[in-house]
Chain A
Amino acid sequence: MTTKQETMRETTERTRLRHPFDTATGTLVCGALLTAVLVVLVRHIAG
């Protein structure tokens, strides 16, 4: 593997680590936020 490829892979890995689902907390917070958004939408659509 060339140095450029290695750098690209490292950059990709670092970027991947920033995804909210990469931690348990991030996953649960996203779920809670989505719940809140959907509650507002449901009240708007069906209320």
Chain B
Amino acid sequence: MDATAVDLVLRWTHFLAGIVWVGHNYSSVVQRPSWRPYTAAELGNDRSERFMALMKREHGFFRWASVVTWAAGMLMLWQRGWLPGALALDGALAPIGVGMYIGTIMMANVWLVLWPHQKKVLGIVPATIDERLRCTRITHLSSRTNTMLSIPLLFFMAASSYGGYLVAP
């Protein structure tokens, strides 16, 4: 497979996984546009094998989609020889560099903030009801932070296709 074909496959993978990942955030915004504190009754106590498998699959799907999106993006930059310039926010590579940094923050947010708290909300990790209620607030803000960050991320991804347009004097 030549370099262009590899680049195309990486780009396609990046888009597809990115839609699965960020689409999850927008789905949450549509379903629950405004924050309303959860009640203990709303958290539910369904610990059936079927329910837990469903929750793990749903959350695992978008969590791993974030890794695939990030890895495909980084491989694309590396394969094109753009990675050092993007990391240094150098000239025409600055827009995609900003997108790369935002994407990295978003993936870290999913794995280091959202998921540890979501495990308590879902009951995968044992926690008191007060702790679970507290975690719903953190997962809400964590999810919304990624929704918010996706706006500049997508802008800078799009802007990168215009070469130095953004940074031209």
> Which A residues have a C-beta under 8 Å from some C-beta of B?
13, 16-17, 19, 21-24, 27-28, 30-32, 34-35, 38-39, 42-43, 45-47
Contacts and interface: CB of A to CB of B under 8 A. Distances in A.
Given A42-B95, A47-B167, A47-B168, A13 B37 contact: yes
Interface string B124-154: 0000000000000100110011011111100
Nearest to A23: B34
B166 A39 contact: yes
Nearest to A28: B151
B123 to A, nearest CB: 22
B155 A16 contact: no
B74 interface: no
Contacts of A16: 35, 37, 137
B33 to A, nearest CB: 4
B169 interface: yes
B65 interface: no
Given A43-B166, A46-B89, A46-B90, A31 B156 contact: no
Interface string B61-95: 00000000000000000000000000001111011
6 contacts: A21-B148, A23-B34, A27-B29, A42-B95, A46-B94, A47-B167
B91 A46 contact: yes
A42 B98 contact: yes
Contact of B29 (A13, A19, A24, A32): A24
Tell which of A13, A17, A28, A46 has the most Cβ of chain B within 10 Å: A46
A42 B33 contact: no
A35 B151 contact: yes
A22 B152 CA distance: 19
A30 B148 contact: yes
A12 to B, nearest CB: 9
B14 to A, nearest CB: 20
A19 B35 contact: yes
